[in-house]
Structure 1
Amino acid sequence: MADVAAKAGVSRALVSIVFRDQPGAGQETRDRVLRVADEIGYRPDNAARLLARGRSRALGVMFTVRQTFHADLIEGIYAEAERHGYDVLLSATAQGRGEVKAVEALLSHRCEAMILLCSDSAPEGLETLGQRTVAVSVGRRMSGSPVDFVHSAEGKGVRQAMDYLVELGHRDIVHVDGGRGPGSAERRRAYRAAMRRHGLESEIRVIPGNHTEESGIDAGRLLMAERDAGRPLPTAVLAANDRCAMGLLMAFGRAGVEVPGEVSVVGYDDSHLSHLMPVGLTTVRQDAVLMAEHAVRFAVQRLDDKGLEPQEAVIEPKLVVRDTTRAPRGM
């Protein structure tokens, strides 16, 4: 700032006024100061200025690499954070980089609050984090933790999908589950409950999986091997999420199985990739924008009032019917 002031022929205080966009400098002076700053490559260090006041005004977001729905959430988080005057810093979990390391990286950069996308942390881990800093868990709910929660009504979304499949005439409906992933237990329970409610208890079948394309491919190969051994294919599959559903579509396509002619496939999330494929995926939409807005608001509200009781937002899901589902053959 002293260099800018000297070259522009003004005081350092006036340079500060210009960069803080405060009254006290004429337009000609402002233009000259900004031009000189650009010439010498000066940029104000807003982070340092905020830290000097004891604030970073940065929200840390932990996400998982390759989870397409997380990209949709992050896009919404950026927009909402900007409306509240906050920056966003990202830290990813990946193979060899767990949640602890991802979160500690954000804390080391002095993020004021953490937004955790589909955390796999144990309850005690979330509780410890909630005691250290402001934290919001998106996609995973844990009762008793001192953190805020944003998630969709998982059971309701699965019921919508299952009711739709049964109305089409499907009876042999398999669920490829999400293992220990966020929301998976709720979706698994809702699938079983829906099958029982429709009188299909004897047809219940859950294939272990996870929230990746690989798990869908593995499940598809298993069903193909069973078909080759004489067991008929199910007429419909409810996948753990969109990525798993995409893996199923890949496996079925390679084996020459027509979707939805022979097997209907339903995903979960309505990530942006679900409608960019050659065949649009029928899926259950989680409203990423609304979830992101709630997560940022919860974080900002708790930063303003640390005494708030833990908050919870349950977002309504919606079945989105596209091209991967139809009535079974012969119906």
Structure 2
Amino acid sequence: MDEAGSEGRRNGTTKRPRLEDVAARVGVSTASVSLVLSGVPGPSERTRQRVLRAAAELGYQVDRTASLLAGRRTRLLGVMVDVHSPFHAELVEHLHTAAEEVGYDLVLSTQTRTRDEHTAVETLLAFRSEALILLGPTAPADTLASLDRKAPVIAVGRRIADGELDVVRTADDDGVGQIVDHLVALGHRTIAYVDGGKGVIATDRRRGYRTAMRRHGLDAHIRILHGDNTEAAGERAARHLLDSGDLPTAVVAYNDQCAIGVLATLARAGVAVPGEVSVAGYDDDRLSRLSCFNLTTVSQGAEEQARHAVAAAVERLDQGRTTPREVVLTPHLVVRGTTAAPR
């Protein structure tokens, strides 16, 4: 018997082991312990054996009343969300509304810089989410397909090539193409692009930029700067442009957060937007609409995506649909005050 158990005996008390005690003994999350003790696939065989051994050593017993209650449907839709994304926050708000209208509720699990996608999904399964709505998932298609065999998966915002699961997204390449078309119509030729890094979404938007530039005969002006989905990336890209001494007349950023970083750096350098450089983003999140930014951007239709995602989950859960479906929505350009004709 361990020291804690001995102390309890000496004091005449018996402390019932908790799920947290088993997790601490093994060094894994409570979500992992719950999955193992519930017999749900997911944790590795090694983890499963360690959890079962620790539970036996501690004398942990599953609450049978809770187990009986767990046999009922939860009517919970699990949503994985990036805590740093304003656009994801807006999607979640619309998902709540759409879910409530059809008698479901949401369980949220966040991705952070220290909490990866696997952990976020594992938590959703531990809470017995009946379907998983994953916002911008980055896992390989075969991993998502395997997860779909445990609970219906709806991937939101990302194209999945040959994926056997439901997808709701906008045509990202078309959206960036609309921005380039808009800038070219204003008279711009030197249009730089701040990239979004790795991943399918970034790849599609980068392709949209290249394709649109070539369509307008601007191959020689294609200029892609390293970046990601943060304001810091936009700041770094803008500083690089300033240091190069070769400012383009327009900059298109991977998303609105990145574009705001570009705007802030140009403003500090005394570069007028849109007088000297036009700037556009992507997502049409709440920050882009603030009067201090008034950012030209592309709307992905957050409310429409949310409604399609919830509808897909309900079709899988309540109507028995098994054939995967992809819904591709057309994004639309939102022209505001950060783009104008070049001088």
Q: TM-score range by the shorter chain?
A: 0.7 to 0.9
Which one of the candidate residues 261, 268, 273 is aligned to 2:287? 273
TM-score, normalised relative to structure 1: 0.81
Write the distance in 2 (CA, Å) between the matches of 1:263 and 1:256.
Answer: 11
Which one of the candidate residues 252, 261, 278 is aligned to 2:266? 252
Deviation >6 Å, runs of 4+: none
Does the Cα contact within 8 Å between 1:118 and 1:182 map onto a contact in 2?
no
Which one of the candidate residues 74, 88, 93 is aligned to 2:92? 74
Where do 1:11-22 residues align within 5 Å?
none
Listed one character per residue, the Cα deviations across residues 164-210 of structure 1 (whole Å, up to 9, x for unaligned) are 10010000000111111452111111111111111110111111211
Where do 1:81-96 residues align within 5 Å?
81-96=99-114
- Percent identical across equivalent pairs? 50
Report SS of the residue matched to 1:125.
helix
Amino acid at match of 2:92: I
- Deviation of 1:144 after TM superposition, in Å, equals 2.5
Cross-structure match for 2:76: 58
Report SS of the residue matched to 1:116.
strand
Cross-structure match for 2:131: 113
Which one of the candidate residues 171, 193, 196 is aligned to 1:153? 171
Write the distance in 2 (CA, Å) between the matches of 1:312 and 1:51.
Answer: 35
Which one of the candidate residues 104, 114, 122 is aligned to 2:122? 104
Write the distance in 1 (CA, Å) between the matches of 2:241 and 2:230.
Answer: 17
Write the distance in 2 (CA, Å) between the matches of 1:277 and 1:220.
Answer: 21
How many residue pairs get aligned? The number is: 278
Does the Cα contact within 8 Å between 1:50 and 1:57 map onto a contact in 2?
no
Which one of the candidate residues 303, 320, 323 is aligned to 1:289? 303
Task: Out of 181-190 and 74-83, give the one that drifted further.
Answer: 181-190
Report SS of the residue matched to 2:154.
strand
- Deviation of 1:154 after TM superposition, in Å, equals 1.2
Cross-structure match for 1:174: 192
Write the distance in 2 (CA, Å) between the matches of 1:114 and 1:52.
Answer: 18
Write the distance in 1 (CA, Å) between the matches of 2:119 and 2:261.
Answer: 29
TM-aligned CA distance change 1:87 to 1:193, over 3 Å: same
Write the distance in 2 (CA, Å) between the matches of 1:170 and 1:132.
Answer: 50
Report SS of the residue matched to 2:108.
strand
Where do 1:182-221 residues align within 5 Å?
182-221=200-239
Write the distance in 1 (CA, Å) between the matches of 2:76 and 2:138.
Answer: 23
Amino acid at match of 1:99: E
Which one of the candidate residues 254, 258, 277 is aligned to 1:263? 277
TM-score, normalised relative to structure 2: 0.78
The answer as to 2:335 corresponding to 1:321 is yes
TM-aligned CA distance change 1:279 to 1:74, over 3 Å: same
TM-aligned CA distance change 1:141 to 1:51, over 3 Å: farther
Does the Cα contact within 8 Å between 2:287 and 2:293 map onto a contact in 1?
no
- Deviation of 1:265 after TM superposition, in Å, equals 0.4
Report SS of the residue matched to 1:299.
helix
Listed one character per residue, the Cα deviations across residues 267-326 of structure 1 (whole Å, up to 9, x for unaligned) are 001011111141300001110000000001101110124452101111111100000000
Write the distance in 1 (CA, Å) between the matches of 2:134 and 2:87.
Answer: 13
